A and B are shown apart, each in its own frame.
Chain A
Amino acid sequence: MRRHWLVTVVMVLALALLAGAACQKAPQQAKYPTKPIEFVVPFNPGGGSDILARNIVAVIEAEKLLPQPVQVVNKAGGSGAVGYGYLAEKKGDPYYIGTVSSSFWTTPLLGGAPFNYTMFTPVAGLCYDSYVLLVRQDSKFASLEDVLNAMKDKPEGLTIGATGVSSDDRVVTYLLEKAANVKFKLVPFQSGGEVMTALLGGHIDVAWANPGEARGQLDAKQARGLAVAAEKRLEGLPDVPTFNEKGINLVFRQLRGVVMPAGAPEDAVKVMEEVLKKVSESPKWKTDYVKRNDLVPTFLGAAEFKTAIEQMNNTYKQVFEELGVLKK
């Protein structure tokens, strides 16, 4: 008799729990988000991905685009491997989103990473960051032609600064070498700041930088932009020609955007895609983020972003294969 009673209690409790769980689940499916969202930045604060994430959050907060807060969490280490690995583990959970930058593709292609681009659900692409070829202001090279001519006379090559060997700097250097049939001596540094210091100090001949990164030096006439690897001249740098204008077929840009873990529910992706579309259209976004960092704004919805991600992966894969650094 006593046992009977216990069983009944357990059954009732179990039913109550189930009902509770069902109740909790119902509205969650109805309108995402019902709890705070974690925005994973796989890099340290102050870097490009961090600035992207914090600007997105600032616009969402200013325009009240989401009923729940979005919390930026930096998980740096292993060229994005730690942060992306962490995000990939949250399979199907739309309460985790992450930034996309070049390491999203390059780190897995170079091996040693617990993730690759297929482990994420594309949400939206937001902007392109360009690469400008720089020299010191008092450099003897006044133009891109000067640099390329000097390379032809000097077989051992000029030195070019790059952040690491698997970076976009390396990729765009390789593409330039191929397009212009020259060869640089690539000097790797730990950070863009170190590259710029070495350039200003005259320790290297040329260097790549994002226009936003080099704005201070360009405005102060400490560094000069020779050419930009974009489709057309940048608004912020009207005097710097594109490589294409100079007869060199070179366009290479970094694509920035937002992803969720693989298998995220479609409706949640849709909500976030809509929010990011509104972010990309807001005036605050255009002045505080796009203009300040000299970016090329764009908006790629989930489907287009998916295609773009695959294209980027192919580009990187091909270059790394030719450089002999691809891990199979």
Chain B
Amino acid sequence: MDTLSNLLMGFSVALTPVNLLFCLLGVVMGTLIGALPGIGPSAGVAILLPVTFGMSPVTSIIMLCGIYYGAMYGGTITSVLINVPGESSSVMTAVDGYQMARKGRAGAALGIAAIGSFLAGTGGVVIFTFLAPLIARFALSFGPPEYFALMILGLTTLSGLTGRSMWKSLAAAAFGLMLSFVGMDIVTGVARFTFHRPDLLSGVDFLPVAIGLFGVGEVLASAESPAELEITRADLSLRKVFPTMADWVRSRRSILRGGVIGFLIGSLPGAGATMASFISYAVEKKSSRHPEEFGQGAIEGVAGPESANNSASVGALVPLLTLGVPGSATTAVMMGALMMYGLHPGPLLFQKNPDFVWGLVASMYIGNVLLVILNIAFIPAFVNVLRIPQRILSPLIVVFCMVGAYTLDNNLFDVWLMLLFGVLGYLMKKLDYPPAPLVLALVLGNLVETSLRQSLIISGGSMAIFVTRPISAVLLAIAAAVLLAPALRSLGRVIRVRASRA
């Protein structure tokens, strides 16, 4: 009951005209920032942070958080329409969302993403409202060995992302892993594969790679066969741009699963929304009755990851507000903001500044409602992008990608990197190598290596640390099961066939 009265008090804070206005401003800007490749939520929050100086802390954090989860909605738009992931957690959305758009179902993809984001985002806020301390304890139970096990599980999902040839997927993943070696080694401080370029000291950034592989690669490929798009005017009519009942029935379980996975993984400071969307995609593919549709425009492949990245953004606020440690790059910026307002995030925040915490929580309920209305209302407008003739749209996309890569760190190097990966993306497409495993391996490679070496330092070199700790043991067992399941299944089939013959 206590929680409910706190929440009610929170709504009285969030519903003041000023806070409501900045909540709306935040979610609108978040949607735009999410849609622009390169400017992800963390950069967006950082750029707009100075604007908030002089506002009351609760108003500014309401706006900043609005940007954060608004970006999760916005990231979908460019992924679906032009195959350019707006931010890192929308990479998986591009895989099936763009295929849906090519089949004239862009509206359905955007619609289900908005609905899924709303349900998972709101669900995340409900869990936050009632279970935040419990989730915080869960997040703390993850040390380096647990992260290692989680990342290994993430890598096994590669088998869920494969295109037509498993070997080509593995080759792409191996290349991604090699890219993740670039940069300063965290344990010894040695610069690896940097070729004396300071730009490479912090490694190959994931976004220029993803924008290049997906966006520019697609533009180059479509320049070759411009008439391929199967969109007719009728496909863009109002009636056809929204998801159908059948879409909803197919997606509802994906949304639920994606929401839960996203919240839990999002609350882990070392994992985050990107990881959550990858795992959700893999889970959807594994549990689907028609896995062959994945990669060709399966709506579950949009619903799951989009729901996951939204609830992950709420989950990431748990460690920030309850423990005072940032759960993601964006919440790290927010923590800086809180400290500038003179608030020290941590358990005492709930006691010392209840109006702040509960006002923020209440604003997230409101913000999600605003976002789902906004996003669905604008679907017809967004879908109109597809009416632009290819010869005009393609150069625009390339410009868009270049600006996006530059804004990431205000560094031209990233633009060249992005273009390089654009060419690679084109070649990979021609040769039928899927780009997603490369991107996933690049993201996970670093984390796997770091957590492995941290664990071994802690254990003094003994591998037993991974199996003697319950959480990591369970995660590794699941990973082993995922890897061995197809082999066991075919083995079982062989035995059965032999038995029936005998």
Chain A residues near B (Cβ < 8 Å): 44-47, 50-51, 54-55, 58, 72-79, 81-82, 85, 110-114, 156, 159, 164-166, 185-191, 193-194, 196-198, 200-204, 212, 215-217, 219-220, 222, 288, 292-293, 325
- Chain B: CB-nearest residue to A57: B50
A222 and B189 form a contact (CB under 8 A):
no
B345 at the interface (CB under 8 A from A): yes
On whether A46 and B323 interact (CB within 8 A), knowing A77-B198, A216-B344, A219-B346, the answer reads no
* Interface residue stretch chosen among B79-87, B258-266, B453-461: B453-461
A74 CB, nearest partner CB in chain B, Å: 7
A78 and B199 form a contact (CB under 8 A):
yes
A46 and B335 form a contact (CB under 8 A):
yes
A204 CA / B142 CA spacing, docked (Å) = 12
Give how many B residues have a beta carbon under 8 Å from the other chain's beta carbons: 58
B189 and A110 form a contact (CB under 8 A):
yes
A-contacting residues, B42-74, CB 8 Å:
42-43, 45-47, 49-50, 53
B332 and A191 form a contact (CB under 8 A):
yes
Not counting A45-B47, A197-B319, a sample of 16 additional A-B residue pairs whose C-beta atoms are within 8 angstroms of each other reads A44-B333, A51-B336, A51-B339, A54-B50, A55-B340, A81-B198, A112-B191, A159-B457, A185-B460, A186-B457, A190-B186, A191-B326, A198-B143, A200-B140, A201-B143, A216-B345
B462 CB, nearest partner CB in chain A, Å: 11
Question: For B143, what are the chain A residues with a Cβ–Cβ distance below 8 Å?
Answer: 198, 201-203
On whether A203 and B144 interact (CB within 8 A), knowing A76-B409, A197-B139, the answer reads yes
A45 CA / B41 CA spacing, docked (Å) = 12
A206 CB, nearest partner CB in chain B, Å: 13
On whether A164 and B344 interact (CB within 8 A), knowing A45-B46, A45-B336, A193-B326, the answer reads no
Total A-B pairs in contact (CB under 8 Å)? Answer: 169
On whether A77 and B344 interact (CB within 8 A), knowing A46-B333, A193-B335, A200-B325, the answer reads no
B347 CB, nearest partner CB in chain A, Å: 4
On whether A164 and B189 interact (CB within 8 A), knowing A187-B454, A217-B346, the answer reads yes
- Listed residue (A85, A186, A194, A204) with the most chain B CB atoms within 10 angstroms of its CB: A194
B17 at the interface (CB under 8 A from A): no
B409 and A77 form a contact (CB under 8 A):
yes
A54 and B340 form a contact (CB under 8 A):
yes
A109 CB, nearest partner CB in chain B, Å: 10
B42 CB, nearest partner CB in chain A, Å: 8
B334 and A219 form a contact (CB under 8 A):
no
B33 CB, nearest partner CB in chain A, Å: 14
B460 and A81 form a contact (CB under 8 A):
no
On whether A222 and B346 interact (CB within 8 A), knowing A81-B198, A201-B140, the answer reads yes
B450 and A190 form a contact (CB under 8 A):
yes
Chain B residues near A (Cβ < 8 Å): 42-43, 45-47, 49-50, 53, 139-144, 184, 186-189, 191, 194, 196, 198-202, 269-270, 319, 323-326, 329, 332-337, 339-340, 342, 344-349, 409-411, 450, 454, 457-458, 460
A72 CA / B47 CA spacing, docked (Å) = 10
A78 CA / B204 CA spacing, docked (Å) = 11
Question: For A44, what are the chain B residues with a Cβ–Cβ distance below 8 Å?
Answer: 42, 46, 329, 332-333
A13 CB, nearest partner CB in chain B, Å: 34
- Chain A: CB-nearest residue to B446: A190
A77 and B324 form a contact (CB under 8 A):
no
- Listed residue (A51, A54, A186, A220) with the most chain B CB atoms within 10 angstroms of its CB: A220
A75 and B191 form a contact (CB under 8 A):
no
A292 CA / B337 CA spacing, docked (Å) = 12
A45 and B340 form a contact (CB under 8 A):
no
A197 CA / B451 CA spacing, docked (Å) = 14
Question: For B334, what are the chain A residues with a Cβ–Cβ distance below 8 Å?
Answer: 46
Question: For B458, what are the chain A residues with a Cβ–Cβ distance below 8 Å?
Answer: 159, 185, 187, 203-204
Question: For B348, what are the chain A residues with a Cβ–Cβ distance below 8 Å?
Answer: 216, 219-220
A8 CA / B70 CA spacing, docked (Å) = 63
B142 and A47 form a contact (CB under 8 A):
no
Question: For A185, what are the chain B residues with a Cβ–Cβ distance below 8 Å?
Answer: 457-458, 460
B206 CB, nearest partner CB in chain A, Å: 13
A191 CA / B319 CA spacing, docked (Å) = 15
B208 CB, nearest partner CB in chain A, Å: 12
- Chain A: CB-nearest residue to B329: A44
A260 CB, nearest partner CB in chain B, Å: 20
Question: For B50, what are the chain A residues with a Cβ–Cβ distance below 8 Å?
Answer: 54, 72
A82 CA / B412 CA spacing, docked (Å) = 11
Question: For B187, what are the chain A residues with a Cβ–Cβ distance below 8 Å?
Answer: 165, 188
- Chain B: CB-nearest residue to A215: B344
B198 and A114 form a contact (CB under 8 A):
yes
